[in-house]
């Protein structure tokens, strides 16, 4: 009886240590996304950052990186979770809005569904790429023409992001 008590007592003492060891081994989900935010030739990129959050009704993971080249700026992010579902809603409707000041268009690049927005006067916009039903890549920019921005956004490996987002 005393021997079984000491075994139980030892296990109870070891639980916090075992909990810590298992927590250390678990890699935050954003760490599989940040390496995909690559350097862009001629651009100064800040260090990629990420965040993973688990909640009772779901989870959210983001990886972000900022770039600058002269006065031009670009921000990229990969978002997995509820926020991506909401942001991708206009894509599912096949939206096409054209005005004298800019546009918002659902389109396809390669075999990926994208939402392109552009404001002519500010030379700014965004490209949202649907990676999955709850995952997206976002490339927002300021001080660039739309064609140049789309070409820069395509320097990121969307298929690798798609695979990383699916391996939740």
Please write the tens of the pLDDT for every residue from 19-48: 433 344 456 778 889 999 999 999 999 999
**Cα–Cα distances in angstroms (integers) from residue 138 to residues 13, 21, 55, 102, 124, in the given order:** 47, 35, 23, 18, 13
Asked whether residue 54 is assigned to any structural domain, the reply reads yes
The pair of structure tokens assigned to 57 is 């009704």
* Best mean pLDDT range from 56-60, 73-77, 164-168: 73-77
Would you say residue 57 has pLDDT above 80? no
Asked whether residue 17 is assigned to any structural domain, the reply reads no
Asked whether residue 2 is assigned to any structural domain, the reply reads no
The total number of structural domains that make up the chain: 1
Sign of the CA dihedral 123, 161, 84, 103?
A: positive
Domain CATH for 126: 3.40.1000
Where in the sequence is the domain holding 129, given as residue range(s)?
Answer: 27-166
Asked whether residue 19 is assigned to any structural domain, the reply reads no
Mean pLDDT of the chain: 84
Asked whether residue 7 is assigned to any structural domain, the reply reads no
DSSP secondary structure of 133-146:
TTEEEEEEEESS-H
Nearest-angstrom CA–CA distance, 21 and 56: 24
């Amino acid at each position: 009886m005393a021997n079984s008590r000491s075994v139980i007592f030892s296990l109870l003492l070891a639980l916090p240590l075992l909990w810590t060891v298992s927590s250390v081994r678990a890699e935050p989900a954003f760490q599989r996304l940040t390496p995909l935010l690559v350097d862009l030739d001629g651009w100064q990129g800040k260090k990629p950052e990420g965040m993973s959050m688990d909640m009772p009704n779901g989870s959210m993971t983001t990886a972000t990186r900022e770039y600058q080249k002269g006065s031009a700026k670009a921000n990229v992010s990969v978002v997995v979770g509820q926020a991506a579902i909401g942001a991708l809603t206009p894509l599912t409707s096949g939206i096409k809005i054209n005005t004298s000041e800019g546009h918002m268009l659902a389109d396809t690049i390669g075999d990926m569904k994208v939402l392109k927005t552009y404001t002519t006067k500010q030379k700014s916009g965004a490209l949202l790429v649907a990676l999955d039903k709850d995952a997206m890549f976002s490339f927002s920019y300021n001080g660039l023409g739309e064609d140049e921005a789309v070409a820069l956004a395509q320097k990121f490996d969307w298929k690798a992001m798609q695979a990383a987002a699916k391996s939740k």
